[in-house]
Amino acid sequence: MKQSLTFLLVSLVVFFSCKENTLGAPEDLNESQENSNSTPKNIILLIGDGMGISQITAGMYRNGNKLELERCNTIGLIKTNSKKELITDSSAGATAFATGKKTRNGMISQAMEDSTNYKTFVEYAEENKKATGIVVTSTVTHATPACFYAHYPRRYDANEAISEQFVNSGVDVLIGGGKKYFETRKDGRNLLQELTEKGYTIPDTLTSNFDTKEIFKLAYLYSPTQPGKRVFSEGDEAPSRGPILPLATQKAIDVLKKDTNGFFLLVEGSQIDWGGHNNDSEYIINEMLDFNESIKIALDYADQNGETLVIITADHETGGYAIIEGELDGSSLTVGFSTKHHSASMIPVFAYGKGAKNFSGIYDNTQIFYKMMEAFGNDLTK
């Protein structure tokens, strides 16, 4: 009881002090952009899987009491329940973002009643001749990214079925783990070969020097299955993946921005959730700071480009995580967890850039889809 009260208090304090700080910020280019009714050309959606208020708060204290998120003047809250369950999983959560429809846990952008496919935001964007991209720190076939380009009734054991659907998705940039599901498949197909034939560049490594000038389609699968953590810890099976998320976010933007019709980019900090499931606070914080660096890349691009909307949110909270004690400088934080699973608490939405104002208020997670559609000039709510 004490833990959940602390959690609530911390949440409220952080939520309101964040709003106050940003309301007092000087009016700048961004402020006028945010109020603009005209539609942004590009949307970057960043999802911190399992990133509740306490995950954000812990990252903030560790980062010297600041985060890139504080640049956002528009803040909202979403309700995260799935169609059947109070506590959502990542597939029902991402289906809501990607299609505007609720389904039950475990389903990848399909109806729970009869497995009818729900059309996804990526499919709409492709139809509207936008470039699209997906950048994650899980396998690219994992629940959150999969819901944006694939349809399947079960999220587990679906890797090969989902990677197969990617080939014809039209998605221009794909960066994440799961090379095995493309290359060493039961059906003997080599999907990387098929992607090469479709014009994708498939590099062996991605460095800051990687030249994207001549590249319009890019698939970089940087680990055979699930990628390692940002910061390696004793006993981990996979090596550290390093700062691939911020780098990949930059490279994806560099490729996608060449499309004169604009682009949609999904970036997921996938492993904040895994830190929560492990009840491992250091894991959560390291992944949160990795995500923070990626948010910076997106916000800086919005500043520079002037026609970009950036939305940062999460599918759900993981771990019932709370900060109970600690040092003011964030060097040591005593935390508690109330579950090894997800929790039901509402999740913040931060928006920045052109058309951001539409994301304030309290609403359902499905509204993220409709608000993004509206931003791109397709109002499906009417």
What residue ranges bind Zn ion (CB under 5 A)?
A: 273
Using CA atoms, how far apart are residues 353 and 294, in angstroms rounded to an integer? 16
CA 142, 143, 144, 145 dihedral sign is: positive
Q: CB of 52: closest distance to Zn ion in angstroms?
A: 12
In single-letter form, the type of residue at position 219 comes to A
Q: CB of 276: closest distance to Zn ion in angstroms?
A: 7
Cβ-count burial of 237 within 10 angstroms (0-12 exposed, 13-18 middle, 19+ buried)?
exposed
Using CA atoms, how far apart are residues 42 and 265, in angstroms rounded to an integer? 8
Of 33 and 80, nearer to Zn ion (C-beta) is 80
Q: Which residue is nearest to Zn ion (CB)?
A: 273
Q: CB of 244: closest distance to Zn ion in angstroms?
A: 20
DSSP summary character for residue 64: T
**Tokens, residue 78:** 């979403």
Q: CB of 66: closest distance to Zn ion in angstroms?
A: 27
Name the H helices within the chain: 2-23, 29-35, 53-62, 90-99, 121-127, 143-149, 159-167, 180-183, 191-197, 244-256, 272-277, 281-305, 367-375
90 as an active site residue: the answer is yes
**Tokens, residue 315:** 């599918």
Of 86 and 380, nearer to Zn ion (C-beta) is 86
**Tokens, residue 153:** 């009734």
Of 33 and 90, nearer to Zn ion (C-beta) is 90
Q: CB of 270: closest distance to Zn ion in angstroms?
A: 9
* Side-chain-facing half-sphere of 330: CA atoms under 13 Å: 15
Of 268 and 273, nearer to Zn ion (C-beta) is 273
Of 68 and 273, nearer to Zn ion (C-beta) is 273
Say which of 11, 54, 82, 90 is annotated catalytic.
Answer: 90
> Active-site residue numbers?
90
